[in-house]
Chain A
Amino acid sequence: MSDIFKPVTDFMQTKIPIGSWVETFIIFLRDNLETFFDTATEGIETVIDGLVDILLFIPPPLLILAFAALAWLLAGRRIALFTFIGLGLIFNLGLWIATMETLSLVTVATFISLLCGIPLGILTARNKMANNVLTPLLDFMQTMPAFVYLIPAIMLLDIGVVSATFATVIFSMPPTIRLTGLGIRQVPEELIEAAEAFGSTPRQKLFKVQLPMAMPTIMAGINQSIMLALSMVVIAAMIGAGGLGGLVLRAISRLKVGMGFESGLGVVILAIILDRITQSLGKRNKKNA
């Protein structure tokens, strides 16, 4: 019996070298786009460091008040109160610097995500072909274990905040692309017809009708991207992201449960503040829409 199937099993055991293909591809990228990656590294590093410097330059009590005021303005009194107490607790636990580092990284990564994600989302809504190509790619990006992104990030950009940003951007971009596309596709056909019947150019249709109508959905996507970025930033501590994730990582390696819990709490507080504020931004948009 086994003899009959031997050729088949032999054939099946001949490994398809997917892994080495990917390796070759990444090495190709590294060797040929070196200047690009170097410039990008420098640019992103400067921005993130600059942001951290600014946040740390402002006296913490003042910054806490400023954040609380912002939360009040955008999300109401309850969230403002939570922000005030939450950030106060972070300061009290001695997590202030780490939190500001994490916040800077999340901000920059989210910004890059939106910068690429919103146009890509618009593209998927307007072009069927682009949608057919991007949808499986997005599925891939979201289901591939997040840790895997760390390896090419290091290979291309070396250990540090920039490779952490890179991995974070890749991981957090899909919801923005998906929900931007969804939001635009969901605009009722009759409104599109109305825009066209009055002689709108495609550009006018996009900016005067589709994007404003899709705004609540796009905001939901942005909110999701921010949350994913925050969760990835912790993982990215493994490749030098620092911040709260760095503290968690240190707690793990030293088995310090208290320290791990405190740093984790910092992440949770930051997540809740960012989530509530961006959510209420989306709701405000819906109300205006």
Chain B
Amino acid sequence: MPKVVIDKLVKIFGDHPEKALKYLEEGKSKEEILKKTKQAVGINNVSFSVDEGETFVVMGLSGSGKSTLIRCLNRLIEPTRGKVFIDGEDITTMDKNALREVRRKKLGMVFQRFALFPHRTVLENAAYGLEIQEVDRAEREKKAQQALELVGLKGWENNMPDQLSGGMQQRVGLARALASNPDILLMDEAFSALDPLIRKEMQDELLDLQKKMNKTIIFITHDLDEALKIGDRIALMKDGRIVQIGTPEEILTSPANEYVEKFVEDVDRSKVLTASDVMKPPSPLLMLKDGPRVALRRMKENGLSSIFVVDKERTLKGVVLAEEALAAAEKGEKTLDSILLTAIPSVSSDTPVTELLPTIAESKLPVAVLDDNGKLQGIIIRGSVLAGLAGQMDKGGTADV
């Protein structure tokens, strides 16, 4: 069962949303509705679900509705229509007390500008969630202490927030959200206010922490690099709608429309592309039973200087070079045994392109891409890496590189 399900969520800002809702159903645009009804559409019919342990990133520029969306999940903003289920329970119909319980037990929130309580020490900030649940002091301070240690703030417990740097303050924010051990973390542009280097450090730490904790994280950002780095899946928002939901690779390699494509344009592709994104189909291939003459003919036909050899299960057995195949054929050999080279440069299919580059540079042969069982998935030649990095060029579209 998914941890969080959002079903046809709509948020309209204004006193009279009824008319706006009607126009929305008729498919009128946000601008038209604002003009006609003076009601602002914040979120327009958004649906998605997040699995337990998943890091789900909602990405969009300012005004895209992403911050409104995350606030609808804990009803800091009341949705106008639609449902939000957490563990199968509909949040939107809960009374105040039930909602408060969910906020206390299941949801932890981290804010863009940290939102630490300036009149409380670091420890008191981290313990806030437990304090309002009336957990006794010793207990809540112990748990807050553990959360602070988890985020690397041991020894800072008795400082005031304004004595800490931005990065450290946000660690307190994270510790405050973790202290009551919620299943779900809502992170609203949590790292956006930090310096680039600190931001990167915090992203890495979040990934590390997530390995240990296995929380369900819903992370809002306007930074695509951050989304690609952190997200198991990414939802791209524009004008209150979701434009595309997919894994980072899907977003990068098959943008749903021009808007996503434009967004993706600037990404440093080498960071996120993997071997499987830039490999070419491995054909033609030789079977083990083929002889040197067949090998020669296949290479000639395809203009190759080498050819990969596999068995029936497509498990990679070796490679044959054109010169050696010629020599073997002249000698009248019938099998490939004497000329089969088994030391082949190979990588696994999820190797990032950046790590491929040294292997490719060193090797005269194409690099084989193997799956976990040693089966040949594809081959990489230098040219295909360049094409992959160039990105849009091989779509033959608008690229003016």
Contacts and interface: CB of A to CB of B under 8 A. Distances in A.
Interface of A: 188, 190-191, 193-201, 204, 208-209, 212-213, 215, 288-289
Nearest to A198: B129
B133 interface: yes
B303 interface: no
Contacts of A213: 117-119
A198 B103 contact: yes
Contact of A190 (B113, B176, B186): B113
A197 B107 contact: yes
B37 to A, nearest CB: 23
A196 B129 contact: no
A194 B119 contact: no
A212 B113 CA distance: 20
A193 B111 contact: yes
Contacts of A198: 103-104, 108-109, 128-129, 132, 176, 180
6 contacts: A190-B115, A198-B108, A198-B129, A198-B176, A199-B104, A212-B117
Given A190-B115, A194-B111, A198-B128, 18 more contacts: A190-B111, A190-B113, A191-B115, A193-B111, A194-B115, A196-B103, A197-B107, A197-B186, A198-B108, A199-B104, A199-B132, A200-B132, A201-B100, A208-B128, A212-B117, A215-B119, A288-B119, A289-B119
Contacts of A204: 132
Contacts of A196: 76, 103
Chain B interface size range: 20 to 34
A288 B119 CA distance: 6
Given A193-B111, A196-B103, A199-B133, A209 B74 contact: no
Interface in B97-148: 100-104, 107-109, 111-113, 115-119, 128-129, 131-133
Given A190-B113, A204-B132, A197 B74 contact: yes
Interface of B: 71, 74, 76, 100-104, 107-109, 111-113, 115-119, 128-129, 131-133, 176, 180, 186
A250 to B, nearest CB: 49
Nearest to A289: B119
B302 to A, nearest CB: 62
A288 B118 CA distance: 9
Contacts of A208: 117, 128, 131-132
A212 B180 CA distance: 23
A40 B353 CA distance: 84
Contacts of A191: 115, 117
A195 B132 CA distance: 9
B101 A193 contact: no
Contacts of A190: 111-113, 115
Nearest to A193: B76
B76 A199 contact: no
Nearest to B101: A199
Contacts of B133: 199
Nearest to A189: B115
B101 A197 contact: no
A289 B109 CA distance: 23
B352 to A, nearest CB: 36
B132 A201 contact: yes
B121 to A, nearest CB: 11
Contact of B115 (A193, A288, A289): A193
